[in-house]
Structure 1
Amino acid sequence: MATKTTETSTAASTEAVTDKKLTVGNAKVDENEMKHSSLHKFFVDALKDIYYAEDAIITALEKMQEAATTEELKDAFEDHQLQTKKHISRLEKVFKSINEEPERKKCEAIEGIIKEGEEIIKTTKEGSMTRDAALIIAAQKVEHYEIATYGGLAQLAITMGHDKAADLLERTLQEEEETDHNLTDIAETFINFDAEQED
């Protein structure tokens, strides 16, 4: 009788090892199946996309900081650069948490938004508040792209049961939203009003 119990428990433990299942909501999902699913592939692809974007944003922010007129905006861009470096590090942890290698894939969307920002620098007067007002809008376009991306990725991570990845992505999402609000505050405090007074 004792032998039979041991056999049963051994069989159960073997089954547990070979049949790796994640609990997602009320459903049980096979981890190997998920790795090969279209949704997982899209998720990893989107991570590569934003990983590239964050890198490109650091360079763009350096140019925007140099071009900005007010110290407040220069400081905001500098803070955002430091924060972006943190986001890159956090993304590497996201890749690791789902057993994927961090890899960059060219993000056409961020390239377009950055190009638009560079055009603003070329077409606005140096040392003007109009330039600062325009740079804030350019920076917020970057923020909104990041907010949409991180928000969507965090929800996908939750759906697929990647709890650690979801937590990391949500932390970045909150920081991106805070940066967006800070830029709005800077614009509304005085920059937009002063820009309106310029010829």
Structure 2
Amino acid sequence: MLQMEEVRSQKLSECLQDNCIIPSFNSFKNFTCCDDSEVFLAYKHCSLILANSFQSIVAPNVALLRELGVPDSYIMTELVRHPRLFARNHDKFRRTVEEVEKLGFNPLKYNFLAALQALMQISKSTWERRLNVFKEWGWSDEDFVIAFEKVPSLGKRIIPRYSVLQVLLSKGFIKKQISVQFLIYSEEEFLARFVTPYGDLHLLKLYKEKMSLEN
């Protein structure tokens, strides 16, 4: 891992010396008000952020978020930490933003960007599959948004934890009604409450298999 970072840093330094990405480097730096180390960090996360034209790819996506009222401080933080989110085809970016809006996420909250990133990382079919799981529990879209706001990473938790609870439900160990709380539990808490006490059901194996698929 360290070797890869060194290669990337060296590659960026060489490009800067050859003037091949200085315009993009300066645009990114001026746009975000970052120092050189933060630009290097963004590049480490996504080399495309400087390899492509900053003004033609990243700027339009940022402009769209600003139009919706997403705070600049949130945008800049994500731009440095997760630049790959912004290095997307603008049409796809816009469509995904619209999907996030339809789900009811508030552009003024940081989790709007968390939901946007989650939708960008998985296929629409996978996202819908996860939503359908919530609907099977009788949750509304609003319930989903509330859960996501509490745990932005819950997408990867849904199917694995749901699979475990389905087994417990079929065996009569739990009741049908399931609250948001089971998604908020930490890994250790969830395993202690719903997996470890039922060792003979081989739930840990099931849980790990589902986690592997979601990742």
TM-score by length of 2: 0.24
Greater helix share, 1 or 2? Answer: 1
Point out the structure with max Rg over C-alpha: 1
TM-score by length of 1: 0.25
Greater strand share, 1 or 2? Answer: 1
Q: Which has the higher contact order (CA 8 A, sep 6+)?
A: 1
